[in-house]
Copies of this chain bind each other. A is one copy, B any other.
Amino acid sequence: MARSGKLSSTGDQRENGRQQILDVIRTAGHIARIDIAKATGVSPATVTAITAELLSAGLIEEVAPDTTSEIRRGRPRVALKIRGAAHRIAGLKVAHHTISTVITDFVGKELASHEMPLIKGRMPLPELCAQIRRALEFTCQKGGFVIEDLSGVGLGLAGMVDAERKFVYWSSSLEERNVDLGQALAEVLPCPVFLDNDANLVAKAEHLFGEGRTCDNFIVITIEHGVGMGIVIDGKIYRGKRGCGAEFGHTKVHLEGALCQCGQRGCLEAYVGDYALLREANISSGNERHTSLLSLFKAAENGDAMARSVLDRARRMFAMGLANVVNIFDPSKIILAGARMTFDHLYSDKVIEEMQQWVVHVDAPLPEVIIHDWGDLMWANGAAAYGIEEVTSQTVKEFANAAA
């Protein structure tokens, strides 16, 4: 057994309360004290006490009474909301050819964003740190402030990351392996940095701001070059022991199957990732050579049997992968999150339909599958969401010290 975590020691209990109430306010957008009490089960008296603290700390603020609201008798409720000005947070996504950055306020509202091209996709540690700082400086400048104004930075990387230790086992952006990136960035930036695998960050964003707002157990799947997964269990990102779980893309779907960019065979990614499709389409010579997915799609639409067959297989493989996720997690929701949704063949009702033939059936509704089209800043926004959450919990923890 050995349940983890201690009994809440003194001072600790309040911390929970503050965290919980901040969470409720954030999810609700704005909410009156009485409703916080109802939502959390905490007594109104305690809600008053805790919100008073948060107010005086400047983390939340009262909303101007809503005159358009339906007229009710009694003392009008005054809603509370997160105070945007409390903190500025940056989110960065390091991709192969760009670093995209977004800066938001504490509410999550975008204040500035910037896309900075990268000459080299993979570079040594010091250079990556420098580029990250440069991207931040650019974006801050656009917003009219400086790096020192940031309370925290979230950073998303493709690769194997141990978020807790801020340690990168391997990333496609880094020449070195096993890098203490947290340490390295701490030396270059004036504010705390929080990093994680990029798919986990998207899951975080869905939980704070997206389709997972009202839900504590769901799976997020992203497909671009590779296939990513984020697992949210009981409201927390599940990362595994070493921090490198949720490697859905390298889940094996075929014994001795197609070669994956990771060097192994039979990975799901090797069937549904974009490079896999192009490779497959171009392998049989004689046909036109496809250089982009778009041309492949077009060919399929025009009745090209080979193109169709390639897309068909990808779709079936993906449906099978999704079914396995359902069979293993039985989640409340599955969110297919995409930045540009180029994968029409994968993000489609047909996939969801096909998935159902592979899942174990019981007489209870299947998990809802939601397709969420974020737009270009999805990854950076995910990183910002993580930054916001971490800064929040850090601030809440500092309360105790501040009081002393």
Chain A residues with CB under 8 Å of chain B are 1-4, 6-9, 13, 16-17, 19-20, 23-24, 26-27, 39-43, 46, 160, 162, 169-170, 177-178, 207-208, 213-217, 229, 233-235, 238-248, 250-255, 262, 264, 266, 316-317, 320, 323-324, 327-332, 357-358, 360, 362-364, 367
Q: Is the CB of B170 within 8 A of A362?
A: yes
**Within 8 Å CB of A264, what residues of B?**
357-358
Q: Is the CB of A362 within 8 A of B19?
A: no
**Within 8 Å CB of A8, what residues of B?**
8, 13, 16
Complex Cα–Cα for A162 and B316 (A) = 29
**Within 8 Å CB of A17, what residues of B?**
7
Instruction: Choose one: B26, B234, B367; the contact of A241 (CB below 8 Å).
Output: B367
Pairs A-B, 5 closest by C-beta atoms:
A240-B330, A6-B41, A245-B330, A1-B23, A169-B362
Q: Is the CB of A216 within 8 A of B9?
A: no
**Within 8 Å CB of A367, what residues of B?**
241
Complex Cα–Cα for A46 and B24 (A) = 32
Look across to chain B and name the residue whose beta carbon is closest to the beta carbon of A235: B3
Look across to chain B and name the residue whose beta carbon is closest to the beta carbon of A4: B216
Expressed in whole angstroms, the minimum distance between the Cβ of A108 and any Cβ of chain B is 12
Classify the interface of chain A: helix, strand, loop or mixed: loop
Q: Is the CB of B16 within 8 A of A2?
A: no
Complex Cα–Cα for A328 and B250 (A) = 9
Q: Is the CB of B7 within 8 A of A242?
A: no
Look across to chain B and name the residue whose beta carbon is closest to the beta carbon of A265: B358
**Within 8 Å CB of A207, what residues of B?**
1
Instruction: Choose one: B2, B6, B248, B358; the contact of A213 (CB below 8 Å).
Output: B2
- A246-B328, A251-B327, A357-B264 given as contacts; is B1 within 8 A of A7 (CB)? no
Look across to chain B and name the residue whose beta carbon is closest to the beta carbon of A365: B242
**Within 8 Å CB of A178, what residues of B?**
363
Q: Is the CB of B9 within 8 A of A363?
A: no
Q: Is the CB of A364 within 8 A of B242?
A: yes
Give me 12 other A-B pairs in contact (C-beta within 8 A), A2-B214, A247-B330 excluded.
A2-B215, A3-B235, A6-B40, A8-B16, A9-B42, A9-B43, A162-B364, A234-B234, A251-B328, A252-B323, A255-B317, A264-B357
